[in-house]
Amino acid sequence: MEEDKIIFGLDIGTTKIVCLAGRFNEYGKLEILGVGKSKSLGVKRGIVNNIMQTVESINHAVELVQNNYNIQVDSVCTGIAGQHIRSLQHSDYITRDNPEKFIDYTDIEKLHENVKKLILLPGEEMIHVLAQEYKIDGETNISQPEGMYGSRLEATFHIVAGQTAAIKNITRCVMESGLKINALNLEPLASADAVLSSEEKEAGVVLVDIGGGTTDVAIFKDGIIRHTAVIPFGGNVITEDIKEGCSIIEKDAEALKIRFGSAWPSENKENEIVSIPGLRGREPKEISLKNLSKIIKARVEEIIDQVYRQITSYGFQEGKNKLIAGIVLTGGGSQLKHIKQLTEYITGMPTRIGFSNEHLSKGTLEEISHPSYATSVGLVLRGLKANNFEDVQDESTSVVEKSKPTFFENWSKTFLNFLLNE
């Protein structure tokens, strides 16, 4: 493992853009070497709607890292999110010409090639093709088919697709900032790497990343990604509701939400009042904290209901599919008071707030472990794991197999080149 290898994660969010520089220390923990944060001006609900403003915001975040920490940023691992993201399940198979020969990476690659032929909606591209489990000659629940014998190789895949135009816009923004893209990752998968343990993924867990523009959902069971979804609501719609419901400006609405906001109105008394300075020449405005909580609760309930709908529609409630580890809330929206209690009340599932402390080295700024940085930390972790491939490979893997790039590595590179050359 190269101790001096530095990876840069670039989280292009709706409310903020974060650039993190990190590397693994000698104990295998993530050491954050630099952080830059800027207000996101050209992104709405996870989708770029103003190229120049987004480029400016990226440049500002990158410059903070370069100037404050004396680190040169040249290439980044960035994330893909937005309401255009959708996922689907797909099964495919190949019939092997020589069943007397054991299954190797070429068979796996051939199977994945079949999946690439799947016809998507117009204007869509595959972002991730994630194999869930394999089947050989009818034998199910095989996680690693290499080295086994059989004539028919089948697999179920979790496919994440997104609009080509939206993905190209993100890549262009990064390129216009003078940066190269090492990898494109679905943001909830990055957040999952940062805040979920392997035990939770094995037991069954729902990651809910509540950002400014969207709420990302990722469901894991038996250590395998089972479902992903993007809900087009986030913390910004809560702020908008407060703004309209209390007839105040957006800046004051956001401040109220952060400082006094609660998703549980019964925790506030009727006589709890907060005063907001009036606009020029006008009297201060008095806001009831109980009414504020009622406004917040209504919107949070809607978001959690949408999350629960994603869980129930895929049958992860009972039997062998039961999600024992419950729900993990992360993202900036997870810091709303009593949101954990409301989530447990609506879903009936155990809930915790997800922090990145487990992966961070001692002495890391406390701010970085905050849930709002989960995606940024996850992007750096995924980049480092890709660069230190030996950390995630089985020790029994042959030298020949190690020297060969995986299908996904080849496919990611091809797809990225396609986006950049268009």
Q: Mind listing the pLDDT tens digit for each residue in 72-93?
A: 999 999 998 888 898 999 999 9
- pLDDT at 409 (0 to 100): 52
Question: Between residues 1 and 369, which one has the greater pLDDT?
Answer: 369
Q: Is the pLDDT of residue 336 over 50?
A: yes
Q: Judge contact between 142 and 148, C-beta under 8 A.
A: yes
The whole-number average pLDDT for the span 319-346 is: 93
Name the band, by pLDDT with cuts 50, 70 and 90, for residue 151. very high
Q: Mind listing the pLDDT tens digit for each residue in 12-56?
A: 999 999 999 999 988 889 999 999 999 999 998 888 999 999 999
What does DSSP assign to residue 295? H
Give φ, ψ of 207 to 5 degrees: -90, 125
Give the residue among 353, 354, 358, 325 at the shortest CA–CA distance from 337: 353
What does DSSP assign to residue 339? H
- pLDDT at 405 (0 to 100): 53
Average pLDDT taken over every residue of the chain? 87
Q: Is the pLDDT of residue 389 over 70?
A: no
- pLDDT at 319 (0 to 100): 72
As beta bridge partners, residue 133 has 156
In three-state secondary structure terms, 152 is strand
Give the residue among 355, 366, 296 at the shortest CA–CA distance from 329: 355
Name the band, by pLDDT with cuts 50, 70 and 90, for residue 421. low
- pLDDT at 267 (0 to 100): 83
- pLDDT at 278 (0 to 100): 80
Tokens of 214: 């969207």
The whole-number average pLDDT for the span 292-297 is: 94
Name the band, by pLDDT with cuts 50, 70 and 90, for residue 413. low
Q: Judge contact between 155 and 136, C-beta under 8 A.
A: no
